[in-house]
Structure 1
């Protein structure tokens, strides 16, 4: 494993805790976290035309941590990353309940997300193909293929697979104990 990773992506299905973990990694390592959703979503949930250029600018930096999302960004991120942390948590027992609670909380509080967007009404889970709850169910097995394929195509990329919250906590504790990289 890389002792001092400086370019880190966090993979996992929607609701697995990618952004939370990326922020925790950032706090422990001092590596800046860029939330990839903020780069992707424009007003009214439209993709920002500058997204891929913004991702390229991000990976040109010496160090960064972000989430491994969006088909147009994944190859760019993987090419430059030192470490991929894969959150492969139990979907129905851990991830989906977290995602559901988050969607309800965001909707009830009308939390403003990226570029002025708010969570759509919960009823739209039945009508909107891309509703986050529906998306998570449909794409939950995607990483079972994409991460092992990435390990084959990018053999120098270190991959850490975490299968429970306990494993996440233990991994973070080890990261916390690792001496900081020289500045």
Structure 2
């Protein structure tokens, strides 16, 4: 497993971005896409249909883009079957293993902002009202979901590394490390990186 300062052994063409809800997977995926000229597939947009119902075509759509040569996407919906499709094809997994205070504050800011502004998301969905967002089961309460899944990737990554030895894994422990890593990749490839935008739509 590589750190922010370790050079990559290859220029990846297919990238997964892992992390708990609120870590900034979608934002980083977009920046990686611009850095290496990859297609960014926002996987939430494939999963969520109208009224937040799962799309029956989800896995078929995942298989379709995974068969392409160049892409980056968020590593999500592992319990829905994406682990059988995405890791075997990916070259690189970027793991955002940020402190709790960072991911919690990001998730609060994102969720409240979407709810208040009634931001249109995938397939014309909008965030639930705040009083509903912060109540109910983890499937309905995004804060409870984040809490329940905080240790997911720390438990999974050793298994992933053993199961997919071809997959290069980079562990970034703070947003500052992510910025440093992006700068290093840009310098290595002669590209430029855009500043982060205040926009993230991953769940």
Partner of 2:122: 114
- Give the SS at the match of 1:3: coil
Match of 1:144 in 2: 154
Residue 127 (structure 1) aligned to one of 136, 150, 168: 136
Structure 2 stretches of 5 or more lacking a match? Answer: 1-7, 192-203
1:129 to partner: Cα distance: 2.9
Q: 1:156 aligns with which of 166, 171, 183?
A: 166
Shift of 1:2: 3.4
Q: TM-score, normalised by structure 2?
A: 0.85
Indicate the structure whose relative CO is greater, using CA pairs within 8 Å and at least 6 residues apart: 2
For 1:30 and 1:66, the matched residues in 2 are separated by 13
| Counterpart check, 1:2 vs 2:9 | yes
Q: Secondary structure at the match of 1:8?
A: strand
Superposed, 1:98-113 pairs within 5 Å as 98-113=106-121
Cα distance in structure 1, aligned partners of 2:57 and 2:155: 28
Task: Answer yes or no: is 1:76 the counterpart of 2:81.
Answer: no
1:59 match: 66
> CA-to-partner distance for each residue in 1:51-75, whole Å, 9 max, x for gaps?
0000000110011000000022133
In the TM superposition, residue 177 of structure 1 has moved relative to its aligned partner by 1.1
Ranges of 4+ aligned residues in structure 1 off by more than 6 Å: none
Distance 1:101 1:142 in 2: 22
Q: 5+ residue gaps in structure 1?
A: none
Instruction: Name the TM-score, length of structure 1 as normaliser.
Output: 0.94
Task: Say which of 34, 38, 41 aligns to 1:27.
Answer: 34
Two-structure CA RMSD over aligned residues (Å): 1.3
Alignment partners' CA distance in 1, 2:106 and 2:23: 8
CA–CA distance in 1 between the matches of 2:190 and 2:85?
26
The alpha carbon displacement at 1:168 in A equals 0.3
Equivalence for 2:195: none
